[in-house]
Amino acid sequence: MQIFLDSTDTKVIADLASTGLVDGVTTNPTLIAKAGRPMLEVIAEICDLVPGPISAEVAATTADAMIAEGQKLAGIAPNVVVKIPLTRDGLIACAAFANEGISTNVTLCFSPTQALLAAKAGATFVSPFIGRLDDYGFDGMDLIRDIRTIYDNFGYETEILAASVRNVAHVKDAAIVGADVVTIPPAVFGDLFKHPLTDKGLDQFLKDWAGTGQSIL
C-alpha cells in the first residue's frame, strides 16, 4: 500500500520524505489556506520534494471552470494530480481530464455508487473519507471494502485512496480491506513507527550492550 502525506507544510514534508517511505502528497483548500502562501508556489515546491503523485484541488464548481483550473494546475509539474469533487460537474471534468491524459483524484466520496461513477469517468484515484463516515456513526472501512469488491468485479483501474484518516488503526484496517493508498497527517505518519514494546526492547538491548564495554566502530 502506498503512503501519502496529507499536508502543505513543506518543511515537514521534506523531513518525512527523507525516510524514503513517502509515496505522494495530497492537499486541499483548507491546507492551502493554513499554509498562508500562494497555492501554485506551494504545489510546485512539494512536487520538487516528492516525485510521486501530488494532488492539487480545483476551487471551481462548474465543469468548464474545473477543466480550466485543472489544466493550469497540471502544468505546474508532471506529477500533479488534479483533485476534483465527486459531483456531476466534477465527473464531467474527470472524464475530460482522462481524455487529455491528466491524472485525477476524485474526492469527497461517501458511497460505493459514487466510487463506481468515478471509475467509469476514468478517475486515477478515488478518495473515500473514512474518518468523516465514522464521525456520523458509519463504518468507513465498510465503504473501502465495498469499493474494492466493485472495482475487482469489473476490472476498474482506479486506485482507492483512503482519506480522512485519523489514527494508526485506520491505516491498518485500510490496508487489510484492500485500499491501494492511504493519505495521512504527519502526526499519524510518526505514530506508525511507535510501539511501547519496541521502546522497551531497545532500552534493554542498549543497556546490555553498554555492559559489554564493546564498540562496533
The predicted structure's pLDDT at residue 155 = 98
The predicted structure's pLDDT at residue 159 = 98
Q: Which set of grid coordinates corresponds to residue 4?
A: 501519502
Based on the residue annotation, tell me whether 83 is a catalytic residue of this protein: yes
* Mean pLDDT over the full length of the chain: 97
| The CATH classification of domain 2-212, taken from the options 3.30.420.40, 3.10.530.10, 3.20.20.70, 1.10.3430.10 | 3.20.20.70
The predicted structure's pLDDT at residue 207 = 96
Helix (H, G, I), strand (E, B) or coil at 216: coil
Among candidate residues 83, 120, 194, 207, the one labeled active-site is 83
User: Residues 110-129: pLDDT tens digits?
Assistant: 999 999 999 999 999 999 99
User: Residues 43-64: pLDDT tens digits?
Assistant: 999 999 999 999 999 999 999 9
For the chain, domain boundaries: 2-212
145 vs 142, 155, 166, CA distance in Å? 5, 15, 18
Given a cut of 50, the residues of the chain with pLDDT beneath it are: none
